[in-house]
């Protein structure tokens, strides 16, 4: 089968999967890799080179673009009376880990908290509140 067609099918399938999983960012990386591989196929480069470039570009896209897109697409921020917390510095009362929410106490209220960059934060540390998503605070580890 002509590799231009194969890479076109892979790119379209990845884009359709991405559209079907709105906001999940599951397959856009493969669409980018397939489009680059399609260009290489049009230039008549070997199939092995196309495959290697597809893999490298897909992985690079995931590593480089995902963190930026995740921060940009972070949604579900609904204005509340607690907006005054945004921008304040608070103390972590229960450790925030890379795989579990922690807790912060603000004016006698305990809030679940997650670090915006996925960093661990020890109890007793201070963090800055960036946003409120549902019942949790999005915080950033202190400077």
- Domain positions in the chain: 3-73, 81-141
Cα–Cα distance measured from residue 23 to residue 8, given in angstroms and rounded to the nearest whole number = 23
What is the third-level CATH fold of 81-141? OB fold (Dihydrolipoamide Acetyltransferase, E2P) (2.40.50)
Q: Is residue 23 classed exposed, middle or buried when 0-12, 13-18 and 19+ CB atoms within 10 A define those classes?
A: exposed
User: Of 51, 118, 35, nearest to 27 (Cα)?
Assistant: 35
What pTM did the predictor assign?
0.51
User: Would you give per-residue pLDDT tens digits along the chain (143 residues)?
Assistant: 799 999 999 999 999 998 888 766 778 889 999 999 999 999 999 999 999 999 999 999 988 887 777 777 665 555 556 777 888 888 899 999 988 899 998 878 889 999 988 888 999 888 998 888 878 889 998 75
């Amino acid at each position: 089968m002509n590799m231009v067609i194969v890479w076109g099918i892979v790119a379209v399938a990845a884009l359709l999967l991405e559209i079907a999983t709105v906001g999940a960012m599951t397959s856009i990386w493969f669409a980018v890799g397939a489009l680059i591989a399609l260009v290489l196929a049009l230039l008549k480069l070997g199939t092995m080179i196309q495959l290697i470039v597809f893999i490298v570009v897909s992985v690079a896209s995931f590593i480089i673009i995902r963190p930026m897109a995740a921060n940009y697409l972070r949604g579900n921020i609904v204005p509340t009376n607690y907006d005054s917390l945004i921008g304040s510095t608070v103390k972590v009362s229960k450790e925030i880990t890379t795989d579990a929410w922690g807790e912060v106490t603000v004016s006698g209220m305990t809030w679940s908290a997650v670090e915006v960059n996925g960093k661990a934060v020890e109890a007793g540390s201070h963090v800055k509140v960036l946003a409120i998503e549902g019942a949790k605070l999005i915080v950033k580890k202190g400077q």
